[in-house]
């Protein structure tokens, strides 16, 4: 799976600009699925038809990633920008970003070095693409960029930008590859615009009308120095979400995942996330309501250019999911 | 000028009837069907002439920001609360119209002669302000402007050469653009144009209108922020007057569909129509609700730049208005199925 994870995490795809990552995923799922389509907003839906008599299950992992969007080009060619999704200004200074056409930029901060005693605000930052004025600046207002950082492996830890949620995409692709002989009809949805508005999963779910929905996404951990307390650790297995800021998991979906972990012989953790939410929050509210839950991949440094997951947790998530939708 | 009539119309969120009446009259004979839905949205349909017809939803919101009477003081003044996003800095001293009878009034303030040191620097909150309609005592005030009566700015529309001034260009200018589009020739596609209610309080009208319309794509027409006065720093003016229609890439409520934005930009470039991108990440429009309807709707937002929106008087350039009408008309003529697809 490492090559797949490398390919997925290194591909460009901020919210609203998912064309490239969709093409990469499409190539992976086309040989595995019975049917592949794209929703009006751009989410990719791969269908694995069941043998009949089962349920319609929707699995969702979002293919968009956080990023930045140019909001102004100044007279000297510096770019002001706004966040696409939850970008922390603390992780921006000195970071490199890349636009869709390949243009690389460095993020700088206004002011004198001795003044920098506080975390900057986003509007105090700028992107330097090496331009000297408006005329030779290759970037226009509205162009989007992502943080760049190569994929790296340290022991069982995998490090990359956009693990949130390309790791979920990898889990879905691998689940699709291994899944066979089920009566259920399983919809593998690679959703758009999760980081901004959850629009992709919400609208895809309307079209699919699932009996049950599971989001696969990253979650935080409490296992780093002085971390905000949280009973999730890296390397202790995938986490079954109980609740987060946007959703309380349906008990049946939660229990289904816990039983699937037991059956698959995978250790899992229970997750209560105090901040953030996932596509499940949107899916559960579609039409007359959808029992929804979430299988999480524990991840350190979420929404920074170096998100870290454990390979064993990823493998465990695939096993749990294959068992759960079987 | 329809913009004058619309600008001067009385129609805060939830009380859009006067605006709706003007629009119904203006569009009589220019559309195939016209009806009002459960929330008060004015729907119109204009069938297309092409063979491969898309169903195109175009919205502009009728409602404006305003105030609502929530109580009365013994002296006959009115306590009010905001309808939509009102900046309390623009209120003191403003002339207003109150209730269905459009009673003239003024938002009271202490004369400058009586201000104590430091007082002039402070902004009064809306609950500290009172609307004065000249009523003598609580009972008279209650009779003239009962709780629930709504208040709008009393601003007359004026032409200042190529620039015009008036209230509520957000979004009466969008309504005016849509009227111009509907009064013209038929488009290749089936146009479902909706003048929506309650945008300023949460995109409520557009949400149900989009559900009903089942469109293949959507355009929201707006009046948007132009913050183009001199600044200390070289930062975004959001949009600039005179630089043409403003296209949204991303705001707080949605991300514009890339194919539709490409259609708009290519149309503008080919025809030499000036256009600009609005500063991303700011504000929200009906597209925020429309794009979420049913299985999702590819959406774009096109706006006429307006200075001082959400205040008693805004300014806009008539050239920007004309160019917005032209850009939208030509873009709708050039729209093809591939623009709303996902391979571009």
Q: How far is B113 from chain A (nearest CA, A)?
A: 39
Q: Which of A26, A142, A285 to mutate to test the interface with B (most CBs of B within 10 A)?
A: A142
pLDDT for B344 beyond 50: no
Q: Do A82 and B250 touch (CB under 8 A)?
A: yes
Q: Are residues A115 and A250 in the same domain?
A: no
CB-CB contact of A297 with A218 (8 Å): yes
* Whole-angstrom distance, CA of residue B291 vs CA of residue B59: 12
- Specify the pLDDT at position A181: 80
What token pair was written down for A97?
């970003």
Query: Which of A89, A114, A147 is at the close of a domain?
Result: A147
Q: Are residues A307 and A265 in the same domain?
A: yes
Q: How far is B159 from chain A (nearest CA, A)?
A: 31
pLDDT for B151 beyond 80: yes
pLDDT band with cut points at 50, 70 and 90 for residue B111: confident
Other C-beta atoms lying within 10 Å of the C-beta of residue B272:
6
Query: Which of A114, A147, A180 is at the close of a domain?
Result: A147
CB-CB contact of A260 with A324 (8 Å): yes
pLDDT, tens digit, 9 for 90 and up, residues B8-36: 999 999 999 999 999 999 999 999 999 99
For B2-64+167-340, CATH gives 3.40.630.10
Average pLDDT, integer, range B97-111: 91
CATH number of A169's domain: 3.40.630.10
CB-CB contact of B301 with B285 (8 Å): yes
Structural domain including A89 reads: 74-147
What token pair was written down for B9?
């119309």
Domain ranges for chain B, please list them: 2-64+167-340, 66-153
* Whole-angstrom distance, CA of residue B4 vs CA of residue B13: 19
Compute the residue count for chain B.
Answer: 344
Q: Catalytic residue among A194, A195, A271, A323, which?
A: A194
Q: Are residues A86 and A182 in the same domain?
A: no
Average pLDDT, integer, range B287-299: 98
User: Mean pLDDT, chain B, as a whole number?
Assistant: 96
Of B236, B282, B295, the CB nearest to A207: B295
Q: Are residues A81 and A10 in the same domain?
A: no
CB-CB contact of A156 with A311 (8 Å): yes
For chain B, the 3-state helix, strand and coil shares in percent, each to the nearest 5, are 30, 25, 45
Other C-beta atoms lying within 10 Å of the C-beta of residue A130:
12
Closest CA to B302 of B333, B323, B271: B323
Compute mean pLDDT per 10 residues along chain A, 326 residues long, and list them.
97 98 98 97 96 95 98 97 96 96 97 81 96 96 97 98 98 96 95 97 98 98 96 97 97 98 98 96 98 98 97 98 96
Average pLDDT, integer, range B84-89: 93
Q: Catalytic residue among B180, B199, B200, B222, which?
A: B199
Q: How far is B112 from chain A (nearest CA, A)?
A: 36
Of B234, B236, B247, the CB nearest to A75: B234
Closest CA to A252 of A283, A207, A212, A196: A212
Looking at residue A101, what DSSP letter applies? T
To which CATH superfamily is domain B66-153 assigned? Peptidase M42, domain 2 (2.40.30.40)
> Is-catalytic flag, A194?
yes
Q: Are residues A32 and A89 in the same domain?
A: no
Q: Are residues A171 and A305 in the same domain?
A: yes
Residue A181 placed within a domain: yes
CB-CB contact of A121 with A82 (8 Å): no
B158-166 long-range contacts, Cβ below 8 Å, gap at least 24?
A: B160/B315, B162/B317, B162/B318, B162/B319, B163/B241, B163/B315, B163/B316, B163/B317, B163/B318, B164/B3, B164/B4, B164/B315, B164/B316, B164/B318, B165/B313, B165/B314, B165/B315, B166/B3, B166/B4, B166/B7, B166/B8, B166/B313, B166/B314
Q: Do B254 and A15 touch (CB under 8 A)?
A: no
What token pair was written down for B296?
């999702």
Q: Do A123 and B235 touch (CB under 8 A)?
A: yes
- Stated pTM of the model: 0.95
Q: Are residues A198 and A274 in the same domain?
A: yes
């Amino acid at each position: 799976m490492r090559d797949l994870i490398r390919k997925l995490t290194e591909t460009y795809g901020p919210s609203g600009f998912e064309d490239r990552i969709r093409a990469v995923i499409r190539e992976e799922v086309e040989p595995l699925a019975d049917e592949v389509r794209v929703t009006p907003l751009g989410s990719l839906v791969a269908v694995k038809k069941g043998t009949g008599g089962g349920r319609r299950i929707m699995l969702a992992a979002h293919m968009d990633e956080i990023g930045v969007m140019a909001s102004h080009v100044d007279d000297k060619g510096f770019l002001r920008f706004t966040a696409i999704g939850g970008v922390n200004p603390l992780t921006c200074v000195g970071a490199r970003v890349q636009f869709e056409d390949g243009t690389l930029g460095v993020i700088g901060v206004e002011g004198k070095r001795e003044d920098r005693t506080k975390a900057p605000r986003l509007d105090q930052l700028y992107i330097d693409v090496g331009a000297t004025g408006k005329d030779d600046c290759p970037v226009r207002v509205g162009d989007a960029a992502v943080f760049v950082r190569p994929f790296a492996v340290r022991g069982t830890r995998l490090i990359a930008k956009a693990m949130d949620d390309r790791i979920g995409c990898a889990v879905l692709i691998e689940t699709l590859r291994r899944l066979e002989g089920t009566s259920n009809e399983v919809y593998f949805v690679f959703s758009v615009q999760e980081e901004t508005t959850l629009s992709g999963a919400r609208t895809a779910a309307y079209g699919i009308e699932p009996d049950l929905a599971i989001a696969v996404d990253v979650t935080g951990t409490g296992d780093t120095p002085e971390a905000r307390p949280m009973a999730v650790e890296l390397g202790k297995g995938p986490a079954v979400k109980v609740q987060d800021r946007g959703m309380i998991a349906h008990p049946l979906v939660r229990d289904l995942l816990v039983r699937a972990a037991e059956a698959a012989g995978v250790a899992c953790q229970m997750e209560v996330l105090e901040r953030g939410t996932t596509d499940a929050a949107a899916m559960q509210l579609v039409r007359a309501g959808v029992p929804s839950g979430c299988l999480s991949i524990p991840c350190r440094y979420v929404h920074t250019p170096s998100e870290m997951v454990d390979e064993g947790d990823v493998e465990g998530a695939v096993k749990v999911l294959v068992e759960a939708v079987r | 000028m329809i913009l004058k009539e619309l600008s001067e119309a009385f129609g805060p969120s939830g009380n859009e009837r006067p605006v709706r009446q003007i629009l119904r009259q203006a569009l009589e004979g220019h559309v195939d069907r016209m009806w009002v839905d459960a929330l008060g949205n004015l729907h119109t349909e204009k069938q297309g002439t092409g063979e491969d017809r898309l169903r195109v939803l175009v919205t502009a919101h009728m409602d404006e920001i305003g105030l609502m009477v929530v109580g009365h003081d013994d002296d006959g003044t009115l306590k009010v609360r905001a309808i939509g996003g009102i900046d309390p800095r623009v209120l003191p001293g403003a002339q207003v119209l109150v209730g269905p009878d459009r009673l003239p009034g003024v938002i009271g303030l202490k004369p400058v002669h009586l201000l104590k040191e430091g007082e002039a620097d402070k902004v009064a909150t809306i609950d500290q302000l009172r609307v004065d309609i000249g009523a003598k005592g609580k009972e008279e005030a209650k009779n003239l402007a009962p709780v629930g009566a709504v208040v709008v700015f009393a601003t007359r529309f004026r032409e200042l050469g190529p620039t015009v001034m008036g209230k509520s260009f957000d979004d009466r200018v969008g309504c005016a653009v849509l009227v111009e589009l509907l009064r013209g020739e038929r488009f290749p596609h089936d146009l479902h144009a909706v003048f929506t209610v309650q945008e300023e309080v949460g995109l409520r009208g557009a949400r149900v209108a989009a559900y009903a319309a089942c469109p293949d794509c959507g355009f929201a027409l707006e009046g948007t922020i132009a913050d183009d006065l001199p600044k200390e720093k070289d930062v975004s003016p959001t949009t600039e007057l005179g630089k043409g229609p403003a296209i949204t890439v991303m705001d707080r409520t949605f991300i514009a569909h890339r194919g539709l934005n490409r259609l708009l930009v290519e149309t503008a470039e080919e025809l030499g129509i000036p256009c600009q991108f609005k500063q991303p990440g700011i504000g929200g429009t009906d597209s925020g609700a429309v794009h979420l309807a049913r299985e999702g709707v590819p959406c774009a937002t096109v706006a006429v730049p307006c200075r001082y929106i959400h205040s008693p008087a805004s300014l806009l350039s008539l050239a920007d208005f004309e160019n917005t009408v032209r850009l939208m008309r030509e873009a709708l003529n050039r729209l093809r199925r591939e623009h709303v697809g996902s391979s571009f």
